[in-house]
Chain A
Amino acid sequence: MNGAALFWFFAAVTCAGAVAVVVSQNVVRMAVWLIVALGGAAGLFFQLSADFVGATQLLIYVGGTIVLLIFGVMLTASGPYLRIKTSPGEGFLAAGVGLLFVLVLMSTVLTIDWNAGRLKLAGLGKVSADAYETALHKEGLSESDRTLLEQAYQPSAKADHAAEPAPKSGPAVAENPEAADSHGSAPKPGDVHSVPAALAYELNPGRRLTSAEAARLAALFGQEKAVVASAMPAQGDTIRPLGLALAGLRPDRDLNKVHAKAATTPGYLLPFEIVSVHLLVVLIGAAYLARTKRRRVEAS
């Protein structure tokens, strides 16, 4: 609960800062609001247990880039308060378009069920009846897990159609009660077993899962590695893995390899070198562009 309150605080600070950057007309005020927005985003990064990225955001963005921008404001100011207004009509038009755009993005984000998508990516969007029953009747299954399984999955409609003509030949349907007996963990009467027609179970689209529930479902099916982030420490401490990844080593991937082909995952050595050379070239170019041209003016 405490984490949720902190999240909403940082989210409100970030969004308010971003909106204030758009609304304010004075460039220096815009820079100050940008500091607020970027600092709030750094707080969000800490909330996401990305401690190194959050610290880098504070150091480089808030400490470096904003100072650079403020120097730009000072070097290009023609009066004490630089004010170049946009006309009100353009402002209203931009506000309308922006509002429409943010509504489109938000409806898209809210429509997609991200957690069900993660389960589908892990191959758990549709599970066979065997796997479902095994998970449902595992020893020591708690009551909340059982209700979660029953709510999250429903008998697949396609399997229902396939099962209707099945009783004439139907070895699969006839097999189901035996399988239930052979599990032997005393299935209660009146649970899902009373409808043995389904051959497969699929995710119930009417039940939106939280990420914790998705991770719990994956663990119940023995697929937690495919859904939960493999070696991401839940409580920060990302500096050493990030440093190793920059040096070209990916122990987090290699230790969790699925098969031998994935043993040599490429690290980030080459992108790291490319980006450092790029930074060097850019800084030399910026110094060349921004140099004073007084000598040429004197010569001419």
Chain B
Amino acid sequence: MAGVDLTAYLLVGAVLFVCGIVCMATKRNGIGVLMGVELVLNGANVNFVAFSRYTSLGLDGQMMSLFVIVLAAAEAAIALAIALNFYNNHQTIDVDRGSELQG
């Protein structure tokens, strides 16, 4: 494992995180925004598992990443239900159209 260290994994996590943020900010499709959230959560997961391998965090990091995976599944289920309701009401999934609640 010459040359591969904690830093390399943290860089991959940073790329995943930023891709997710940009995806959430630019996509006008509601499902696309959800995919951005999944990318952000995965970047956090990569960081957790890398810290669990290379520091004294031990098993706790892997346990946190398992909880994050479960939370992401729950979030996807709820957000998809909301997206379906949005589509039923507006006949589109474009999040820019959901401006009825603007004050």
Partner-B contacts on A (CB < 8 A)? 1, 3-4, 7-8, 11, 14-15, 18-19, 21-22, 27, 30-31, 34, 37-38, 41, 44-45, 47-50, 52-53, 56-57, 60-61, 64-65, 68-69, 71-73, 75-76, 78, 82, 84-86, 90-91, 94-95, 97-98, 101-102, 105-106, 109-110, 114-115, 118, 121-122, 210-211, 226-232, 238, 241-242, 245-246, 250, 252-253, 268, 271, 275, 278-279, 282-283, 285-287, 289-290, 293
Contacts and interface: CB of A to CB of B under 8 A. Distances in A.
What interface size band does chain B fall in?
35 or more
Q: Lowest 6 CB-CB distances: which A-B pairs, in order?
A: A289-B81, A18-B19, A105-B14, A290-B81, A98-B22, A282-B74
Nearest to A40: B12
A34 B19 contact: no
Per DSSP, chain B at the interface is: helix
Centre residue among B4, B59, B85 by max chain A CB count within 10 A: B59
Given A53-B66, A232-B58, A34 B16 contact: no
Contacts of B19: 15, 18-19, 21-22, 98
B59 A109 contact: no
Interface string B46-64: 1001101111111100110
B73 A109 contact: no
B38 to A, nearest CB: 7
Contacts of A82: 29, 93
B16 A15 contact: yes
B10 A41 contact: no
A27 B80 contact: no
Contact of B14 (A61, A102, A253): A102
Contacts, number: 245
Given A4-B3, A290-B84, A44 B56 contact: no
Contacts of B21: 98, 101
Interface string B1-36: 111111111111011111111110111111110111
A232 B73 contact: no
A71 B5 CA distance: 38
Contact of B18 (A48, A52, A105, A293): A105
Given A48-B50, A56-B66, A229-B55, A7 B4 contact: yes
Contacts of A19: 15, 19
Interface string B78-100: 10111111011001111000000
Nearest to A226: B56
Contacts of A22: 19, 22-23, 26
Nearest to A250: B59
B59 A241 contact: yes
Contacts of A73: 31
